[in-house]
């Protein structure tokens, strides 16, 4: 399922990162790599705030939709 459908506070494992090549590379630099644990902290406006590798990162809903967990 896309990361946008995950519940707040639920730990998920990234299975695939889709989208355009430059978007995938950008997400990879933030730590969004298959096999990594990710947890949604909150949703604010059109953004999703997640915990990944002991960091909090805000990404757009469109980018979050490209991350399959």
pLDDT tens series, the chain, 69 aa: 999 999 999 999 999 999 999 999 999 999 999 999 999 999 998 899 999 998 999 999 999 999 999
Q: What pLDDT is attached to residue 46? A: 86
Q: Which two tokens stand for residue 1?
A: 């399922």
Tell me the domain boundaries of the chain.
3-68
**What is the CATH superfamily name and number for domain 3-68?**
Ferrous iron transport protein A (FeoA) (2.30.30.90)
Q: What pLDDT is attached to residue 59? A: 94
14 vs 22: CA distance, rounded Å: 18
Q: Which residues fall within 8 angstroms of residue 9, CB to CB, at 6 or more apart?
A: 39, 40, 41
Element (H, E) at 18: none
pTM of the model: 0.89
C-beta of residue 13 within 8 angstroms of C-beta of residue 66: no
32 vs 38: CA distance, rounded Å: 8
């Amino acid at each position: 399922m896309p990361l946008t459908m995950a519940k707040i506070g639920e730990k998920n494992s990234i299975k695939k990162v889709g989208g355009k090549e430059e978007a995938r590379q950008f997400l990879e630099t933030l730590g969004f790599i298959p096999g990594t644990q990710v947890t949604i902290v909150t949703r604010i406006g059109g953004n999703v705030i997640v915990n990944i590798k002991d960091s909090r990162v805000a990404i757009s809903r469109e980018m979050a939709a490209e991350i399959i967990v």
